[in-house]
Chain A
Amino acid sequence: MTDFDWQPLLLTFRLATTTTLLLLLVGIPLAGWLAFTRFRFKPVIEAVISLPLVLPPSVLGFYFLLAFSPTGFLGEQLLAWFDLRLLFTFEGLVVASIFYSLPFMVHPVQAGLENLPASLREASYTLGKSRRETFFRVLLPNIKPSLLTGLVLSFAHTIGEFGLVLMIGGNLPGQTRVASVAIYDEVELLHYGAANAYALLLLVISFGILLTVYAINKRWVIF
């Protein structure tokens, strides 16, 4: 237990919180657009969003590595314009995590919106409300369980990141050494006690989060 340190756990939760908050801003409008658009290439967009569900994280990590590297197209531009490095930094982990957890936010919210009766949206329009007002005052408040599911799954999925972090973040204490990487690292060094502490805490916290969600969702019966 001597090697146990709170830093990887705190970093994990900082990463998960930042990612989830940014995903709320990106994922909800995206889910709203996907739920109601008649865009011809919607299946292409949906497939791209869902890629992290099926691809090994190392594939995603590999391409991020190429894109974020100072000689890569994206990395070069970000460095030149914003002096921003995404490889082996916390910021890089956040950007990658957003893509990695995007389907976990978009899918539940999109499904929630699609399952609402169309008459709710149309009734709001006939009452003179704009699309935006309808979205925020009528649609979103009526899919609270889906929003909560999206929020928690994104958070939990980010906590569970490993391969992607290892590929583009490495193992820098305080910067990119999240709990899942710390566990791997401690096992490599045969520090089973420390590994067990990280693992057990992640297990208990993740279970607690999921249990809370299911309990709350059971109570939220709106129709």
Chain B
Amino acid sequence: MGDILMPMLHLRARMNLLFASGPAPLEVDFKLTAGSLTGLCGPSGSGKTTLLRILAGLTVPDSGMMRVGDRIWLDTAQKIQVPTQQRKVGMVFQDAALFPNMTVRQNVEFAAESRRDSLVDELLALVDLENLADRKPATLSGGQRQRVALIRALARRPEVLLLDEPFSALDYETREQLLGELVRLHRQFGTTTVLVSHHQEEIQRVADNILELKQGKVTNFGSPYTAEKESLNPVTGIVNEVNVRETTTQLQIRLTSPIITVNVPSDTKEWHIGEAIAVSIDPQTLTRKAD
């Protein structure tokens, strides 16, 4: 599936919303490249979820246009509104929204084209959920639930994958683990993805693009580096220059730039040498020592 060229997405929308500070329009106009992972961030109440819902067709903007590949999903001027059911979107909700009456496998099968779809087993295996396939969602942990929600969305074979703060209610360790799995699945399936998160640092590590919203307006759109650039201190500026994003696991990973070199120690017990990984340094965690 990874080699299918995924469509580019173009959304232009305007919608009057009520923010904490009063009514203001949500106004966006952006294009996403095929197969990209875009991090959608911004303070709470900035319109992130509304934007995601517009992409999914769950909310209709006052005016706007949306194109995915060569198809129009929305054009208010021409009164075109493709219903959610007919958009090939996969959506992961904050509360996972698993169907309590179905088992893990039935939840995933519900999204697949048929019960015998081999993708169901493939996805269950990919996130290590084969053993829990016959369990009901109520018996799963928060992290397991979000894993099921993620593969259920992928079982739909979506053209656009939308994730609405899927890991926000999880503890740090589980969140890190799931983020890693998301990156892995994104690489494997190559689905154009939009990830909403209020953890800026989280988005910086995994996203190709950052789309920052504030009071319904896009205040920043571009690579994670440029989005962060203006607020950087000298240390984080240097680190960002050397921040590599993809490599393979080795005994020690060396990130080099003309300015500095950083050695990242790797725990070889956890890693298999030669495996593809993404590495980055969180600039906020570094301090500058006196010479």
Residues of A whose CB lies within 8 Å of any CB of B are 117, 119-120, 122-130, 137-138, 141-142, 222-223
Contacts and interface: CB of A to CB of B under 8 A. Distances in A.
B95 A138 contact: no
A127 B95 contact: no
A74 B87 CA distance: 47
Nearest to B136: A222
Contacts of A117: 95, 97
Choose among A119, A128, A129, A141 the residue with the greatest number of B CB atoms under 10 Å from its CB: A128
27 contacts: A117-B95, A119-B94, A119-B97, A122-B56, A122-B58, A123-B91, A123-B93, A123-B99, A125-B84, A126-B56, A126-B58, A126-B84, A126-B87, A126-B89, A126-B90, A126-B91, A127-B90, A127-B110, A128-B85, A128-B156, A129-B85, A137-B110, A141-B99, A141-B101, A222-B100, A222-B138, A223-B100
Choose among B88, B93, B99 the residue with the greatest number of A CB atoms under 10 Å from its CB: B99
A123 B110 CA distance: 11
B111 interface: yes
A127 B111 contact: yes
A143 to B, nearest CB: 10
Contacts, number: 61
Interface in B11-46: none
B101 A142 contact: yes
A142 B91 CA distance: 21
Contacts of A122: 56, 58, 84, 91, 93, 97
Given A122-B56, A122-B91, A223-B100, 7 more contacts: A122-B58, A125-B83, A126-B91, A126-B156, A126-B162, A127-B90, A127-B110
Nearest to A120: B97
Nearest to B90: A126
B153 interface: yes
Interface residues of B, number: 25
B220 to A, nearest CB: 28
Contacts of A142: 99-101
A122 B164 CA distance: 13
A119 B93 contact: yes
Interface string B161-204: 01000000000000000000000000000000000000000000
A120 B152 CA distance: 13
A142 B56 CA distance: 24
A36 to B, nearest CB: 13
Nearest to B84: A125
Choose among B90, B94, B162 the residue with the greatest number of A CB atoms under 10 Å from its CB: B90
Contacts of B162: 126
A127 B89 CA distance: 8
Contacts of A130: 85
A117 B97 CA distance: 8
What are the 10 tightest A-B residue pairs by CB atom distance, in nearest-first order?
A: A119-B97, A123-B97, A141-B101, A126-B91, A125-B84, A127-B111, A119-B93, A222-B100, A128-B85, A142-B101
A117 B94 CA distance: 12
Contacts of A223: 100, 138
Contacts of A119: 93-95, 97
Contact of A222 (B58, B97, B101): B101
Contacts of A120: 97, 99
A138 B99 contact: yes
A107 B86 CA distance: 32
Contacts of B152: 127
Nearest to A141: B101
Choose among B56, B83, B94, B110 the residue with the greatest number of A CB atoms under 10 Å from its CB: B110
A80 B58 CA distance: 49
Contacts of A129: 85, 110
Contacts of B93: 119, 122-123
